[in-house]
Structure 1
Amino acid sequence: MARSLSLERGRPLLAPSLLAADPLCMAASIDRLGGEADALHVDVMDGRYVPNISYGPGLVRALRDRYAEAVLDVHLMVDEPERGIEAFAAAGADYLTVHVEATRHLHRLLGHIRELGCRPGVTLNPGTPVEWLRPVVHLVDLVLVMSVNPGFGGQTFLPEVLSKVRTLCQWRAVDGLSFLIEMDGGLGPANGADVVRTGCDILVAGSSVFGAADPLLALRDLRRTAQGGISHGRS
């Protein structure tokens, strides 16, 4: 059974993006987080849906073998993700998130991901209308809102995507759903509280954590500042 993320402790969840970690010292980079990450975010890129090429099922399997209890949050930035989900599920992914535009049969794909024992998620690009999710939002455990255009690390946060989070929160409340809302792109201590205050549950942070001299201190700083979004109430 796939591991899950829980909000029971009443704090924002943090999922450091391994795309920003040192690829030659991946385990050392993760170990520097001191076990305080709520999930490990794995960006998979195929050179088609986005220009870059990154990791595959082999990395997910290695992560599962070394970090048996970690929540592996796998973000598939790939065309026709239905061709690869079985390999990632077998490798040990917990969450498998696909882009709305990447498949012709999103409803079927999300169901298949759950059948494989993973938690299905769907991703919205900055230019993708949130309304495209309305027919399938009841099928997912996670909605990932991209706050940069996908495919490259180190980009600047796009604040206009926050309106999508507000809409998702409204749907979740009205329909009595429990999916988590995740945001990825340009996140750090400067904007973490605003993102959480809007309604986001999970922050994906790459450069602001792994690019810091001390990733553990950076992770703690992000959690502390993001916690302010809960302390002051969400809009």
Structure 2
Amino acid sequence: MDFMLSDSLMCLDMLHIGSQLAVLDDWMDWHHADVMDGHFCPNLTLSPDLVKAVCSVAKRPVEVHLMTERPGEWIERFAGAGAAMLSLHAETINAAAFRLMREVRAAGCRVGIVLNPATPLDSIRHYIDETDRLTLMTVDIGYAGQPMVPQVVSKIREAAAFKRKSGLSYEIQVDGCCNEKTYRTYAEAGAEMLVMGSGLFGLDTDLEKALQIMRQQQRAALAGMKQVACG
């Protein structure tokens, strides 16, 4: 088996985004844009203008991960910038989840839902069937390079089991600490897609080499493993 892969745009060299995107387009399934507002998330990253520039040249679709206190205020901006999917944090939308998810679809985007490490899967049970992609954070939001929160592995298993039992089709994505030490753990738990940050960009300053190393590490970690039946 192979994971579907998405690169974390916040980890790119901001002086060489165009050339790096050209390389990543040949390896990745998606690009992942982390949007942080300094309130819900203790950092500031990636504006609608940058996402628009990426979408104008990228061959792969862009998922915008809205780590913002008021995600509803950004739906039209990022949809207009060309995002193919908007992923909203359950912690910020549960008072208006159905309305905001409808707004995302009306804007022409697929719907993603994101859970922080401490947020239980039960918190989204009433609208998980409306979700195209479920992203489980395995680190606290805000910064790349953190160690995995091990308690999240059981939540990945729970999400995969619920998907099988319910006959749903949401993609199970893991965001955080995706590297050679965790690939097999995530796959065995039922993860289908990874957001690659430091586990890719920290491998080599030459991005093409880093991608080759990443692929070798993933295939070594998953060798001989039977694919988890999530569909």
Alignment partner of 1:177 out of 147, 168, 172:
168
- Say if 1:46 and 1:78, in contact at 8 Å, map to a contact too: yes
What residue is the counterpart of 2:214 in the other structure? 219
Q: 1:232 to 1:85 in 2, by over 3 A?
A: same
**What is the one-letter code of the residue matched to 2:115?**
L
TM-score by length of 1: 0.89
Matched residue type, 2:135 = L
1:18 to 9, 24, 49: 9
> What is residue 131 of structure 1 aligned with on the other side?
122
Q: Give the Cα separation in 1 of the matches to 2:150 and 2:216.
A: 21
How far, CA to CA, are the matches of 2:99 and 2:221 in structure 1?
35
CA distance in 1, matches of 2:133, 2:34: 15
**Matched residue, 2:32:** 41
Greater relative contact order: 1 or 2 (C-alpha under 8 angstroms, separation 6 or more)? 1
Higher mean alpha-carbon deviation, 165-174 vs 215-224, is at 215-224
Q: How many residues align?
A: 224
Contact 1:196/1:234 (8 A) holds in 2? yes
TM-score by length of 2: 0.91
Aligned partner letter, 1:131: D
Give the match for residue 78 of structure 2.
88
- Structure 1 CA distance, aligned partners of 2:202 and 2:34? 17
Question: Where do residues 1-235 of structure 1 align in structure 2 (5 Å cutoff)?
Answer: 11-33=2-24, 35-67=26-58, 69-103=59-93, 104-213=95-204, 214-225=209-220, 227-228=222-223, 231-234=225-228
List per-residue Cα deviations over 1:176-223 (Å, max 9, x = no partner).
Answer: 110001001111112112201211110111012112213222332344
Q: 2:25·2:60 contact (CA, 8 Å) conserved in 1?
A: no
How far has the Cα of 1:233 moved from its partner?
A: 4.1
CA RMSD of aligned residues (A): 1.7
Residue 43 (structure 1) shift? 0.5
Give CA-to-partner distance per residue, 1:34-68, whole Å, 9 cap, x none. 6111111110101111110001211111111111x
SS of aligned partner of 2:134: strand
Aligned residue identity for 2:130: L
17 and 226 in structure 1: CA distance in 2 versus 1, 3 angstrom threshold: farther
Q: What SS does the aligned partner of 1:84 have? A: helix
Measure, in 2, the Cα distance between the counterparts of 1:171 and 1:199: 11
Change (3 A) 1:34 1:113: closer
- Deviation digits for residues 96-142 of structure 1 (CA, Å, limit 9, x no counterpart): 10111113311211121112111101111011111101011011100
Amino acid at match of 1:49: F
Q: Which amino acid aligns with 1:180?
A: E
CA drift at 1:155: 0.5
Identity rate of aligned residues, in percent?
A: 33
Query: Which residue identity does 1:83 align to in structure 2?
Result: E
- Structure 2 residue runs of 5 or longer lacking an equivalent are none
